[in-house]
Amino acid sequence: MEIAASRMTDQAFPIMNADILAEEHARLHARPVDRKTVGSPFVKNPRMTCRNVDVFYGEKQAINKVSIDVGQNQVLAMIGPSGCGKSTFLRCLNRMNDTVSSCRVEGKVCLDGIDIYGPAIDVVPLRARVGMVFQKPNPFPKSIYDNVAYGPRIHGLTRDKNELDEIVQTSLVKAGLWEEVKDRLREPGTGLSGGQQQRLCIARAIAVSPEVILMDEPCSALDPIATARVEELIAELRAQYAIVIVTHAMQQASRVSQRTAYFHLGDLIEVGPTEKIFTNPGHKLTEDYITGRFG
Amino acid sequence: MKASHLLVAGSLSLFMVSPAFAARDYISIVGSSTVYPFATVVAEKYGKTSSTKTPKIESTGSGGGFKLFCGGVGVDHPDITNSSRAIKDSEIKTCADNGVKEIVEVKIGYDGIAVANAKTAPQFKLSRKDLFLALAKEVPDPKDPAKLIANPYKTWKDVNPELPANTIEVLGPPPTSGTRDAFVELVMETGADTLEAMKALKKADKKAHTKATQTVREDGAYIEAGENDNLIVQKLQSNPNALGIFGFSFLDQNGDKVQGSSIEGKLPTYDAIADGSYPVSRPLFFYVKKAHVEVIPGMKGYLAEFASEKAWGKEGYLADKGLIAMPDAERKEMAESVADLKVMEGK
Amino acid sequence: MNSPEPVNTMTTRPSLLEPGKNLKKRYRTDLWFQRIGITAIFLSLAFIALLFFQIISEGYTAFIQTNILLEVEFSEQAFAKENLATADYPGLIKKSLTDTFPEVKSRNGKKLLFSLVSSGAAYKLQEMVEANPKIIGTRQKMWVAAASDVDMLMKNKIDRKAPEENRRLMDNQLAWLDILKSQGRLEKQFNQTFFTTGDSREPELAGILGGVKGTALTLFITLTLAFPIGVAAAIYLEEFAPQNHWTDLIEVNINNLAAVPSIIFGLLGLAIFINFFGLPRSTPIVGGLVLALMALPTIIIAGRASLKSVPPSIREAALGIGASKMQTITHHVLPLAMPGMLTGAIIGMAHALGETAPLLMIGMVAFIVDIPGAITDPAAVLPVQIYLWADSPERGFTEKTSAAIIILLAFLMTMNSLAIYLRKKFEIKW
């Protein structure tokens, strides 16, 4: 990590002399002394609230006292350089980190006021309410219909086939895929194009009526046209859901999100309205990152 | 979790489907691989002509057979064991310790061991002394008979000037085989006794004598060819210089490919073995657990079939398979003892 | 570097038209490697071809059988008694033969004549009469099996020119056979017996069905035990077991078990299943249990490998939607891992199929005539049948041995094709 970052620095400042380089390096890689996040992490009507969240992998601390709210009908974009912990943090929100045995989460993460790490909490209904879309499209090797119907089936959301058909249709309509696949619902989901697969995964996530949708770099494996379709879709979905998206593309963050959070080495450096972050960042690190001085 | 529990439970329940197999409706026979070809023929004939099931016969070797046989009384243990030698005292004792007290001994006939070579080569005229000198690991030094030296003989001519100058090359059974045991006992030991030096050794140091007479050379002149006698027959055909050691039944079946060598002037023929003039022959037996005769269906029938003239008689079907029948009087006596289930006297 | 024109400072730049020495050497190495590989493949194919040629050329004759056409009179007198089983069936055969060759009068001559027909012919008559008692009182023409020696003669495996005393067939027997042959009453026909009967000590009556059925029953037990247990163990170790020294120890030992000599499993089976649980010797249930123990490590290792090969994205997808761990495994991971698991299971089974050593210990190397009908009946399996026939003195068993090997190979090929078929059928692309 250190080496990788320093190499990146080399490329960013090819004409710097060694002294300046070392100084710059030290500045970028020192933990900010003042850990207080710039900007207000809180919103008026939060769907999820995170307070002082620490995440450890074994001995190593990956997330450091992060507090942030996820607002209803909002897209919260999380940006930051590789390894900054944004994906780790995202995965805390529906406890996907549980599958990693060495991972430990401290602090409070609440969904509608209930601590999801509480002792009485079952992850199965939690994941139904906080859905997730992954970096690489990962439809099940089943038919399009079964992909979407899988969630409702295991959660017992429908009483008969007609209801299930309806859920599948509405989910696919919401995901903007219905018109393209309505005649071939029985064909394998893996036969679709990359962008269609990712929208199928979104349809699969919304079929169980979640309240929050987490997206982990959903467009990184897609071409620009497919990316544009998914971004449009995110904008439409905002009307009904709270959305958290992790992205590498700052342009994408500025296009789809209302709020943006900047992570750096496990710290939440700055959070605020997207417009403000991209036009008038409050922290030097944020500014360096969005102006492309390192990344 | 449920599915995995079901899988495990299902598999376990399969293990449990083993109620006590109280009854056994077929005869279980174990024992010698030499007697096996004869016992199986009787079993098959009996199974086809009676309403009971065909007996099951395992070829475990004589020693292995006694071990199983003497394991105890009950359906878990075999009813009959075949043997190419008489039961040993130690085995009788093991049997008795495990509750097998009444054993019926049945002698079924004789088997000869042939030393044969390919038909394409000249027939050998051997003596047991020649065989001992050719095959023992250590033989008395021709210059100083009191001393044992590593076998120096390379060709048959070295052993006996009357024999051809072929390299000594003998294919024979491995030490696990009953045929090997019999060969050592009947040929090597008697062959050694013809030598003055060995006789002297017998008196002086019994242990050294036993070792010298029972150890076969390991320098390539004796080739262990495995238990499969058919293989020896095949190898003899491809190598006319080699001799092979195997049971008479294999010689009988392959008379067009191999020829038996004469030993002490006697050829291994049916008649010579039957009248005892061919020196390398041994009796074959089977032993019956009397306690099982009334319990296991078909036991009496099987015994009667085996002890019938059409089976073990001179013209019987076992003779066709190479078994050498006992003399008439002995056969008659044995048949009576089978009919009465005469229990062996403790030795 | 600032000069606008490219300056050719690199004198050693490789020419495109004349490749240098170094390049030629590299290509030569490639070529050599290819040649060695092709030679290796060619050699192994040649050996397999030789093996197959050897076995098939030796064994195909076992599928045909010399039969003799007899005209048998089922006279009323012969069946005077109530019980059909006690009738003198060999007598009927003998009468038919003496009717054909009335000139044979001497006792010895008759014996030689009768020995031309297999002893199984009498059993055939018995079966016929028991199946249809109406044939009593009629004359029937029927093909019966010739004795093995006659069969060997017809297949040119006995030398007619050898001196009489060294031949299993006498001169007058040859003469009778020539007469029968000229009358069209001696023919080589398809050997049905071989596929419909169990073992026998008479080569012409010996069949493979007992071995095939014993093998099928044994493998059935092996599969029903080893597959579920192996899959469950693989799933537990791969998906649930905590990573600690105990699981490491278990993993190492499973790998060790896969390399344990098979006879050890036989000893284990003898000690546990027969001596401790009291299961009957020589039966498919014990054989199946022992072979299941043998196949388990292979199945577990293959199972774990195929579970590992399922992409983590599929697990994440299922978990992310709220599937429980078990649902994730049974709905998504297992179906994707199944082709690999099935392949592993069938390879393990095929391996077990060829084993005789462990079966020796549990008494399955036995002469068993009756065809097993249940898992607790005594049974032989194919490799054991091959072993027993290879060891029989009668000449006729040589071809039977090769034929049994052909059947075993066919069994193995069927299992492997099944594996390929199942893999293709269940294989899911993602």
pLDDT digits (tens, 9 = 90+) for A195-209: 899 999 999 999 998
Provide the residue count of chain A.
295
Residue among C167, C224, C368 minimizing CB distance to B256: C167
My answer on whether C377 and C308 are in the same domain is: yes
Q: Is residue C411 part of a domain?
A: yes
pLDDT digits (tens, 9 = 90+) for A70-109: 989 999 999 988 888 889 999 999 998 888 888 889 999 9
Taken in order of first residue, the domains within chain B and their CATH numbers are 25-110+282-340 (3.40.190.10), 112-281 (3.40.190.10)
Residues of the domain holding C110 = 61-191
My answer on whether C127 and C161 are in the same domain is: yes
CATH number at residue C403: 1.10.3720.10
Task: Band the pLDDT of A20: cuts 50, 70, 90.
Answer: low
Q: Is residue C35 part of a domain?
A: no
In angstroms, rounded to a whole number, what is the distance separating the alpha carbons of residues A148 and A158? 13
Query: Sign of dihedral through CA atoms A106, A107, A113, A118?
Result: positive
Distance of CA C139 to the CA centre of its chain: 41
DSSP state of C62: G
In angstroms, rounded to a whole number, what is the distance separating the alpha carbons of residues C229 and C231? 6
Chain B touched by C393 (CB under 8 Å): yes
pLDDT digits (tens, 9 = 90+) for B258-273: 899 999 989 998 888 8
pLDDT at residue number B346: 57
Identify all chain A residues contacting C247, using CB atoms and an 8 Å cutoff.
none
For residue B342 the two structure tokens come to: 């005469």
Chain C touched by B299 (CB under 8 Å): no
Distance of CA A190 to the CA centre of its chain: 23
pLDDT at residue number B42: 93
My answer on whether C228 and C302 are in the same domain is: yes
My answer on whether C70 and C179 are in the same domain is: yes
Chains B and A share 3 or more Cβ pairs within 8 Å = no
In angstroms, rounded to a whole number, what is the distance separating the alpha carbons of residues C96 and C101? 9
Cβ atoms A171, A148 nearer than 8 A: yes
Contact C326/B10, CB-based, under 8 Å?
A: no
My answer on whether C177 and C225 are in the same domain is: no
Contact A136/C313, CB-based, under 8 Å?
A: yes
Question: Would the pLDDT of B282 be above 90?
Answer: no
Last residue of a domain, one of C191, C217, C232: C191
My answer on whether C130 and C218 are in the same domain is: no
pLDDT at residue number A245: 94
For C324, the closest chain A residue by CA position comes to A124
My answer on whether C273 and C169 are in the same domain is: no
**Phi (first) and psi of residue B9, to 5 degrees:** -60, -40
Question: Would the pLDDT of B287 be above 90?
Answer: yes
My answer on whether C184 and C281 are in the same domain is: no
A2 or A188, which is more confident? A188
Chain C touched by B302 (CB under 8 Å): no
Which residue of C89, C117, C392 to mutate against B (max B Cβ within 10 Å)? C392
Identify all chain C residues contacting A123, using CB atoms and an 8 Å cutoff.
322
Residue among C158, C235, C277 minimizing CB distance to B4: C235
For residue A194 the two structure tokens come to: 């990359």
Which residue of B2, B17, B24, B58 to mutate against C (max C Cβ within 10 Å)? B58
pLDDT at residue number C2: 52
My answer on whether C214 and C325 are in the same domain is: yes
Distance of CA B154 to the CA centre of its chain: 30
> Exposed, middle or buried by CB within 10 Å (0-12, 13-18, 19+), for B170?
buried
Contact C390/B230, CB-based, under 8 Å?
A: yes
Q: Is residue C28 part of a domain?
A: no
In angstroms, rounded to a whole number, what is the distance separating the alpha carbons of residues C251 and C257? 10
Question: Would the pLDDT of A156 be above 90?
Answer: no
Who contacts B120 (Cβ-Cβ below 8 Å, separation ≥6)?
B240
Contact C393/B322, CB-based, under 8 Å?
A: yes
Q: Is residue C417 part of a domain?
A: yes
If residue B258 lies in a helix (H) or strand (E), which one and from where to where? strand B258-260
Chains in contact with C via at least 3 Cβ–Cβ pairs below 8 Å? A, B
User: How many interchain CB pairs under 8 A, B with C?
Assistant: 122
Angstrom CA distances, C347 to C38, C289, C303, C417, stand at 26, 17, 12, 11
Would you tell me how many other CB atoms lie within 10 Å of the CB of residue A124?
A: 16
Contact C123/B28, CB-based, under 8 Å?
A: no
Contact C324/A124, CB-based, under 8 Å?
A: yes
Identify all chain C residues contacting B49, using CB atoms and an 8 Å cutoff.
85
Which residue of A101, A133, A140 to mutate against C (max C Cβ within 10 Å)? A140
Residue among B56, B247, B317 minimizing CB distance to C366: B56
Average pLDDT of chain B, as a whole number = 85
User: Total structural domains in chain C?
Assistant: 2
Contact B255/C158, CB-based, under 8 Å?
A: no
For residue A232 the two structure tokens come to: 């449009």
My answer on whether C232 and C353 are in the same domain is: yes
Strands (E) across C227-386 are located at 366-367
Could you tell me which residues are beta bridge partners of residue B289?
Answer: B103
Contact C367/B249, CB-based, under 8 Å?
A: no
Last residue of a domain, one of C191, C221, C237: C191
Taken in order of first residue, the domains within chain A and their CATH numbers are 1-30 (no CATH), 33-290 (3.40.50.300)
Chain B touched by C107 (CB under 8 Å): no
Average pLDDT for residues B168-173, to the nearest whole number? 90
pLDDT digits (tens, 9 = 90+) for A254-290: 999 999 999 988 889 899 999 999 998 888 888 888 8
Residue among C315, C319, C331 minimizing CB distance to A127: C319
Q: Which of residues 34-93 of B touch C (CB under 8 A)?
A: 36-37, 39-41, 43-45, 47-49, 51, 53-54, 56-59, 76
Task: Band the pLDDT of A3: cuts 50, 70, 90.
Answer: very low
Identify all chain C residues contacting B76, using CB atoms and an 8 Å cutoff.
274, 278, 280-281
My answer on whether C303 and C344 are in the same domain is: yes
What dihedral do alpha carbons C351, C357, C360, C364 form, nearest 10°? 10
In angstroms, rounded to a whole number, what is the distance separating the alpha carbons of residues C320 and C314? 10
pLDDT at residue number A212: 93
Q: Is residue C119 part of a domain?
A: yes
Q: Is residue C12 part of a domain?
A: no
User: How many interchain CB pairs under 8 A, A with C?
Assistant: 71
Contact A154/C327, CB-based, under 8 Å?
A: yes
Distance between A154 CA and the closest CA of chain C, angstroms: 7
Query: Each residue's pLDDT tens digit in chain C (430 positions)?
Result: 455 555 555 566 777 777 777 888 888 999 999 999 999 999 999 999 999 999 999 899 999 999 999 988 888 887 877 777 777 888 888 889 988 898 888 888 888 888 899 988 888 888 888 888 888 888 888 899 999 989 999 988 888 887 777 778 888 899 999 999 999 899 999 999 999 999 998 899 999 999 999 999 999 999 999 999 999 999 999 988 888 899 899 999 999 988 888 889 999 999 999 888 888 888 999 999 999 999 999 999 999 999 999 988 899 899 988 888 899 999 999 988 988 898 888 888 888 888 888 888 888 888 999 999 888 889 989 999 998 898 888 888 989 999 999 999 998 899 888 888 888 887 765 4
If residue C286 lies in a helix (H) or strand (E), which one and from where to where? helix C284-308
Chain B touched by C316 (CB under 8 Å): no
Pick from A110-114, B234-238, B342-346, C286-290 the range whose average pLDDT is largest. Answer: C286-290
My answer on whether C277 and C304 are in the same domain is: yes
In angstroms, rounded to a whole number, what is the distance separating the alpha carbons of residues A160 and A206? 19
Chain A touched by C428 (CB under 8 Å): yes
Chain C touched by B19 (CB under 8 Å): no
Q: Is residue C332 part of a domain?
A: yes
Chain A touched by C175 (CB under 8 Å): no
Q: Is residue C113 part of a domain?
A: yes
**Phi (first) and psi of residue A192, to 5 degrees:** -80, 165
Helix axes of B299-306 and B328-340: crossing angle, nearest 10 degrees: 170
